[in-house]
């Protein structure tokens, strides 16, 4: 015969997932205001797991009952010492509904979480009873698999606020309230069909042990409020600019300039304190190879 009771202890010394249950009508009789059978004297009860949990060799789900959970089960022996828990019953505890607020389609309890400056607008949270499948732990970790028609959504949230949400159209938003680190032991590939935008409020460092190749079919633009430095740290290495170079302001050269072709200027060119007049851009060139013989 099915019996009902409340869980009073979870700390199984054998760590088998057993619980102590005060079975109503058997363990709840009182004497002078106190239970005749103290919690410490209640027998440990096994918990029946669902068929989708193997419950062998560490595989399957853990028992997630809490102290105060209303459970149903049966005694397995005539001495009423072996009680097996067959399920729990969400009702009301102290006048408060036991079913999760997200299942009951109440307002999003995490609606006030901080948002990123460039984060897409708002959560797609819009559950309708009874479509939202929710699992919440004692500390506040939450998983939601919402099957509400038109608002199908997956959300997983850590109690700190770090979370991700997959919206009905397949878009995904991640929010990490502290640091993020990812290790890839093998290769890693990111393929994006659309645009990519990276906003960094602090410093950004890129360290590459091998070669770094950037292939761009359009233009490259780099704006800096500070200095820009390109440096080949090995003395026998060089920086190659393979194309025309336009310099709209001053060019300061700390060492030698080697020109293997013709140098043409439309104005004056000052080299090593010697000023050479330009030819107005006719292309005849300025010889800077040394002192010139006087014109006869």
Provide the 3-class DSSP secondary structure of residue 39: helix
Instruction: With CA atoms as reference, report the closest residue to 265 among 279, 251, 244, 275.
Output: 279
176 close to 190: Cβ distance less than 8 angstroms:
no
Examine residue 130 and say whether the peptide bond preceding it is cis (omega within 30 degrees of 0).
yes
Nearest to 278 by CA among 265, 261, 262, 295: 265
Range name among 13-17, 55-59, 262-266 with the lowest pLDDT average: 262-266
d(CA 17, CA 54): 14
Q: In the β-sheet with 172-175, what is the strand arrangement from edge to edge? A: 132-136, 142-146, 153-157, 163-166, 172-175
Tell me: pLDDT of 18 over 70.
Answer: yes
- What are 34's strand-pairing partners? 31
Mean pLDDT of 205-212: 95
pLDDT in tens, 174-197: 999 999 999 999 999 999 999 999
pLDDT top residue among 85 and 269: 85
* Total-model pTM: 0.81
What CA–CA distance (Å, rounded) separates 168 from 146? 10
Residue ranges and CATH numbers for the domains of the chain are: 3-95 (2.40.50.260), 99-187 (3.10.450.190)
Task: Give the integer Cα–Cα distance in Å for 72 and 24.
Answer: 10
């Amino acid at each position: 015969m099915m019996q009902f009771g409340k869980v009073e202890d979870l700390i199984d010394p054998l760590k088998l997932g057993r619980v102590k249950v005060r079975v109503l009508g058997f363990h709840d009789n009182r004497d002078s205001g106190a239970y005749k059978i103290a919690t410490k004297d209640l027998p440990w009860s096994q918990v029946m797991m669902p068929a989708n949990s193997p419950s062998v060799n560490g595989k399957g789900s853990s028992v997630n009952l809490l102290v105060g959970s209303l459970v149903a089960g049966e005694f397995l022996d005539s001495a009423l010492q072996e009680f097996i828990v067959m399920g729990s019953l969400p009702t009301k505890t102290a006048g408060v509904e036991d079913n999760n607020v997200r299942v009951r389609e109440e307002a999003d309890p995490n609606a006030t979480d901080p948002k990123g400056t460039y984060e897409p607008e708002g959560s797609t949270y819009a559950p309708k009873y009874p479509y939202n499948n929710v699992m919440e732990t004692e500390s506040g970790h939450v998983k939601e698999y919402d099957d509400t028609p038109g608002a199908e959504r997956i959300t997983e949230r850590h109690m700190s606020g770090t979370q991700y949400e997959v919206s009905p159209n397949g878009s995904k938003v991640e929010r990490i309230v502290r640091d993020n680190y990812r290790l890839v032991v093998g290769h890693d590939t990111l393929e994006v069909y659309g645009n990519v935008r990276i906003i960094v409020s602090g410093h950004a460092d890129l360290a590459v042990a091998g070669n770094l190749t950037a292939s761009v079919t359009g233009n490259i633009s780099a704006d800096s409020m500070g200095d820009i430095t390109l440096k080949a740290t090995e003395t026998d290495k060089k920086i190659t600019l393979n194309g025309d170079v336009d310099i709209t302001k001053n060019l300061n050269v700390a060492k030698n300039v080697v020109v293997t072709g013709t140098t043409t200027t439309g104005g004056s060119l000052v080299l090593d304190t010697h000023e050479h007049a330009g030819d107005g851009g006719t292309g005849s060139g300025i010889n800077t190879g040394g002192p010139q013989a006087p014109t006869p």
